[in-house]
Amino acid sequence: MAAQDQPNFYVTTPIYYVNDKPHIGHAYTTLACDVLARFKRLDGYNVMFLTGTDEHGQKVEKAAGDKGVSPQAFTDSVSQNFRDLTGRMNFSNDDFIRTTEPRHREACQKLWDMLVERGHITLGSYAGWYAVRDEAFYTETEIVDGKAPTGAPVEWVEEPSYFFDLSKWQEPLLAFYEANPDFVGPVSRFNEVKSFVKGGLRDLSVSRASFSWGVPVPRDDAHVMYVWLDALTNYMTATGWPIDGSFGDADKHKSFWPADLHMVGKDILRFHAVYWPAFLMAAGLPLPKRVFAHGWWTNEGEKISKSLGNVIDPNQLADEYGLDQTRYFLMREVPFGKDGDFSKMAMINRMNSDLANDLGNLSQRVISMIFKNCNGVSPALPNNPQPEDVALLASVDALLNIVRSHMDQQAFHEGLREIWQVISDANRYVDGTAPWGLKKTDPDRMGEVLAVLAETIRQIAILVQPVMPEAASKILDQLAVTDEERDFTYAGGSVRFAAGREITKPEPVFPRYIVDEEEKGSA
């Protein structure tokens, strides 16, 4: 299909603050987007997948100052860590945006001008609390024991400031939510957003005058833009907006805006589901179709924090357990949208039971048997299938539609659970048909059984590609499936496993993790 005939799909991660190194939480959000982007590409979409770094604001300026380097030098080096992580985690992002880039400055200033021209930004003065850690303003009534409701320290700020007339957008936002019941997922989080907006909105300070590390406010050198107005605009910048600007790209923008999905953590939902749509409505621009807020990871039951020294480095996880194993664990272990806990034992259990035992053994046994007992050539499917063949093939053929509908709801864990259900069916089928025993008694039937299994494994490997691209590719190689035969038009039952192809001796794809005695003790 030519790109212009394909449906488009645009998915974004939050852009991460460069005040610190990337950790498991950042890798998690980007992984979820990567899985969706890969899924949609295999499903025939023209995909744009964006991630990047949020480099302005007081928090970053302060982190640079603490290190004794200029904000630009600091952001250059930390942003690179996030870029490196995309390579290490095999993320397939199509772009990596930095808010310090000229294309982004131009987009921010354009949006600002549109808001000013339409009368939604006016100069005033701000007196209130500000939490640098959250880059957020708080009212007196929100302060709990001298801190922000998030626990972040606050400071009193009094300075001239431009204000966005957020208070006028309460009714339009509520009407928009009503008309777009899928705008926020999960539903429980959407309800929180609605109650927040129903509680009334105050005008929002959108510039700061007491520091300079930000996008300059047009025509007023004393102010830089509030970092959240700057940051949220990145989603439009990367589509080649403004289209008449020096970095404009009308075709790209038309293809990808409005975004299909902004994936975020629950901590920043309000910025994406309240402020961002209000800014866009005020500017007369189209709104994103959906925002999904996932849950929070803890480490062995504890909040992850630098001060507790328990930050999980995704690079180390991939080194220790394997990249695809880590990707699988993160997507399978916790219902997407809920909070989750990382524990070594949970990781090892998933690795050994779901991967090494269930999928790994199945494919290794079946492909080895084909190699040994079918002269290294793929056998043909039965002309007259037995009821157990029909049942297994029907369950694997049904998977594509089932998994697709879970993916469209960002229910990654459910999609994987369904796939593993069919893997169990296939393992039961192996036990029931006992192909190794058929070698002497009924070699023709043995070939049929192995072909039914190979067909099941072929479709499963096609479907797990978004989560485990490397492992899936090894299995597909072992089954002599060509590179052109791996998209989703080859799943769902319309195409079958090809007979007569050369099968070579397979190597195991999912090693077991051997737990040493010391680890058992500490787990």
- Tell me the window of 12-20, 103-111, 184-192, 489-497 that interacts with ligand ME8 (CB under 6 A): 12-20
Beta carbon nearer to ligand ME8, 12 or 478: 12
The CB-of-226 to ligand ME8 minimum distance in angstroms stands at: 12
The CB-of-228 to ligand ME8 minimum distance in angstroms stands at: 7
Residue type, 382: P
The CB-of-128 to ligand ME8 minimum distance in angstroms stands at: 20
The CB-of-267 to ligand ME8 minimum distance in angstroms stands at: 5
- Tell me the window of 22-30, 323-331, 475-483, 515-523 that interacts with ligand ME8 (CB under 6 A): 22-30
- Answer for the pair 410, 336: CB distance below 8 angstroms, yes or no: yes
Q: Which residue has 């005008």 as its token pair?
A: 203
CA distances from 20 to 50, 59, 181, 271, 418 (A): 20, 10, 36, 21, 37
- Tell me the window of 11-19, 147-155, 168-176, 464-472 that interacts with ligand ME8 (CB under 6 A): 11-19
CA distances from 140 to 145, 146, 154, 157 (A): 11, 9, 11, 12
What is the total count of residues that contact ligand ME8 (CB under 6 A)?
A: 19
The CB-of-486 to ligand ME8 minimum distance in angstroms stands at: 30
The CB-of-276 to ligand ME8 minimum distance in angstroms stands at: 8
Token couple for 492: 């769902």
Q: Does 143 bind ligand ME8 (CB under 6 A)?
A: no
Q: Does 292 bind ligand ME8 (CB under 6 A)?
A: no
- Answer for the pair 397, 459: CB distance below 8 angstroms, yes or no: yes
The CB-of-339 to ligand ME8 minimum distance in angstroms stands at: 8
Residues 73 and 55: their CA atoms lie apart, in Å, by 11
Handedness of CA 274, 276, 282, 285 (dihedral sign): negative
28, 45, 112, 513: residue in contact with ligand ME8 (rule CB under 6 A): 28
Residues 111 and 107: their CA atoms lie apart, in Å, by 6
- Answer for the pair 378, 500: CB distance below 8 angstroms, yes or no: yes
Residues 370 and 503: their CA atoms lie apart, in Å, by 7
Residues 95 and 320: their CA atoms lie apart, in Å, by 28
Q: Does 25 bind ligand ME8 (CB under 6 A)?
A: yes
- Answer for the pair 226, 207: CB distance below 8 angstroms, yes or no: yes
The CB-of-264 to ligand ME8 minimum distance in angstroms stands at: 5
Beta carbon nearer to ligand ME8, 233 or 255: 233
- Answer for the pair 64, 20: CB distance below 8 angstroms, yes or no: no
116, 143, 285, 304: residue in contact with ligand ME8 (rule CB under 6 A): 304
Q: Rounded to 5, what percent of the chain is helix, strand, coil?
A: 50, 15, 30
- Answer for the pair 155, 130: CB distance below 8 angstroms, yes or no: yes
Q: Whose CA is closest to 9, among 256, 316, 303?
A: 256
Beta carbon nearer to ligand ME8, 305 or 482: 305
9, 10, 11, 17: residue in contact with ligand ME8 (rule CB under 6 A): 17
Sequence-distant (≥ 6) Cβ neighbours of residue 206 within 8 angstroms: 121, 161, 162, 163, 164, 225, 226, 229
11, 231, 468, 481: residue in contact with ligand ME8 (rule CB under 6 A): 231
Token couple for 65: 């100052």
Q: Does 225 bind ligand ME8 (CB under 6 A)?
A: no
Beta carbon nearer to ligand ME8, 29 or 58: 29
Residue type, 59: K
- Answer for the pair 84, 48: CB distance below 8 angstroms, yes or no: no
10, 26, 47, 78: residue in contact with ligand ME8 (rule CB under 6 A): 26
Beta carbon nearer to ligand ME8, 339 or 444: 339
The CB-of-240 to ligand ME8 minimum distance in angstroms stands at: 18
| Mode of pairing for the β-strands spanning 184-185 and 207-208 | unpaired
Q: Which residue has 């978004």 as its token pair?
A: 466
The CB-of-231 to ligand ME8 minimum distance in angstroms stands at: 4
The CB-of-71 to ligand ME8 minimum distance in angstroms stands at: 15
Between residue 232 and residue 291, which ones bind ligand ME8 under the rule CB under 6 A?
A: 232, 234, 264-265, 267-268
The CB-of-32 to ligand ME8 minimum distance in angstroms stands at: 9
The CB-of-291 to ligand ME8 minimum distance in angstroms stands at: 11
Beta carbon nearer to ligand ME8, 52 or 466: 52
Q: Does 99 bind ligand ME8 (CB under 6 A)?
A: no
Beta carbon nearer to ligand ME8, 245 or 265: 265
Beta carbon nearer to ligand ME8, 54 or 418: 54
In 266-316, beta strands by DSSP E: 291-294, 297-299, 302-303
| Mode of pairing for the β-strands spanning 216-217 and 207-208 | unpaired
54, 324, 354, 397: residue in contact with ligand ME8 (rule CB under 6 A): 54
Q: Does 14 bind ligand ME8 (CB under 6 A)?
A: yes
Residues 54 and 84: their CA atoms lie apart, in Å, by 16
- Tell me the window of 15-23, 110-118, 443-451, 462-470 that interacts with ligand ME8 (CB under 6 A): 15-23
16, 137, 226, 497: residue in contact with ligand ME8 (rule CB under 6 A): 16
Residues that bind ligand ME8 (CB under 6 A): 14-17, 25-26, 28-29, 54, 231-232, 234, 264-265, 267-268, 296-297, 304
